[in-house]
Amino acid sequence: MHLSSPTPFPANRPRRLRRDAFTRNLVREHRLSAHDFIYPVFVHEGENRREAVPSMPGVERLSLDLLLPVAAECVQLGIPYLALFPAIDAALKTPDGKEALNPDGLIPRVVRRLKAEYPQLGVMTDVALDPYTSHGQDGVLDETGYIINDDTVEILVGQALAHAAAGVDMVAPSDMMDGRIGAIRDALEAHGHIHTRIMAYSAKYASSFYGPFRDAVGTRGALGKADKNVYQMDPANTDEALREVALDLAEGADMVMVKPGMPYLDVVRRVKDEFKVPTFAYQVSGEYAMLKAAAANGWLDHDAVMLEALLAFKRAGADGILTYFARDAARLLQK
């Protein structure tokens, strides 16, 4: 008993609500479900072709025929959306990334087939030039190597239109050029694609956590020591994230995203509180790689940290999460 206490007993015993599983279940504030997930997948040309991505254990580049059963499983698990990322043949990469505009390129073909086979599964595509450029940057360069904003936006508009024509449900510009959301929205409207949703990578930081992704799409080598600091955001800033979100919403974004995820949960919370719009977070390749590596060493419990990390996004205010764990987590939640 504490002498200064007004009663001999604690006035509150928060542990009452934690004493048994049924009470914890009752008072739980946030829950994960398969509907929270967007599953990023890597596609490449060919048939019956699968390649492991060593820095992302459990992730593979798949040819379209091998992606179809993955899509079927996502439908069965209740995962609402796939996010497609292409690994483009080196021979098709150019300084201007013009393969991105090919209406019969890899991504439009994959979109058409997925929507034909699984109309009930959402398909989202990345709008950015990095998988298509020989230098691995998300846009076109001037003679000094600076990424030219407005010329890049013009190409991105063409890329978004090619995806929309193929029937994509949602485009997600991940390039961080100024004004691209407005330009893409205008073009979609002008071409009658009034239902195509835009999820803007609004607060996308120049992060070192993207390394394994660059292995997966084959841009790490081309980029070399170059960085993306002249267009992606400075990890030191958060007010700037709010300005970016405000611009993208004003330009016509339906949803916004913060990326990376776990190191940026403060940004997710600020965005959600300020704008109260559908807000997503991307648990990026490096976050996935860290958890996989620690689990492989036996240092962390794979399933437990996976679910805890994903739940943290919900607690921070995210409406959903792009995560390479989507299938693993949804399988576990289904049990």
Q: Can you say which residues are annotated as belonging to the binding site for Mg(2+)?
A: 244
C-alpha angle with apex 257: 177 to 112, nearest 5 degrees? 80
Quick note: the x/- pattern for ligand PBG over 287-326, rule CB under 6 A, is ----------------------------------------
At residue 139, what is the residue type?
G
Residues forming beta bridges with residue 199, ordered by sequence position: 255
Asked if 115 is an active-site residue, the reply is no
Confirm if 201 and 245 have CB atoms less than 8 A apart: no
Helix (H) or strand (E) holding 52: strand 50-52
CB of 276 to ligand PBG, least distance (A): 25
List of residues 6+ apart from 30 with CB closer than 8 A: 311, 314, 315
Question: Binding to ligand PBG by residue 284, rule CB under 6 A?
Answer: yes
Size of the site for ligand PBG (CB under 6 A): 12
Q: Give the span between the Cα atoms of 38 and 89, in whole angstroms.
A: 25
In the set 101, 123, 128, 291, which binds ligand PBG (CB under 6 A)? 128
CB of 100 to ligand PBG, least distance (A): 11
CB of 128 to ligand PBG, least distance (A): 3
Looking at the Cβ atoms of 75 and 222, the one nearer to ligand PBG is 222
Catalytically annotated residue among 98, 204, 272, 292: 204
Q: What DSSP line would sit under 197-238, residue for residue?
A: EEEEEEEEB--GGGHHHHHHHT-HHHHTT---TTTSBPTT-S
Confirm if 134 and 222 have CB atoms less than 8 A apart: yes
Q: Give the span between the Cα atoms of 280 and 198, in whole angstroms.
A: 12
Catalytically annotated residue among 98, 259, 272, 314: 259
Question: Binding to ligand PBG by residue 210, rule CB under 6 A?
Answer: yes
Of the candidate spans 159-167, 209-217, 272-280, 327-335, the one that interacts with ligand PBG by CB under 6 A turns out to be 209-217
Looking at the Cβ atoms of 81 and 213, the one nearer to ligand PBG is 213
Question: Binding to ligand PBG by residue 126, rule CB under 6 A?
Answer: yes
In the set 138, 215, 244, 251, which binds ligand PBG (CB under 6 A)? 138
Q: Tokens representing 44?
A: 């490449």
Q: Give the span between the Cα atoms of 39 and 318, in whole angstroms.
A: 15
C-alpha angle with apex 292: 286 to 297, nearest 5 degrees? 130
In the set 174, 196, 202, 279, which binds ligand PBG (CB under 6 A)? 174
Question: Binding to ligand PBG by residue 285, rule CB under 6 A?
Answer: yes
Q: Give the span between the Cα atoms of 261 and 246, in whole angstroms.
A: 19
Looking at the Cβ atoms of 185 and 201, the one nearer to ligand PBG is 201
In the set 36, 99, 130, 248, which binds ligand PBG (CB under 6 A)? 130
Asked if 259 is an active-site residue, the reply is yes
Annotated catalytic residues are 204, 259
Binding site for ligand PBG (CB under 6 A): 126, 128, 130, 138, 174-175, 210, 213-214, 228, 284-285
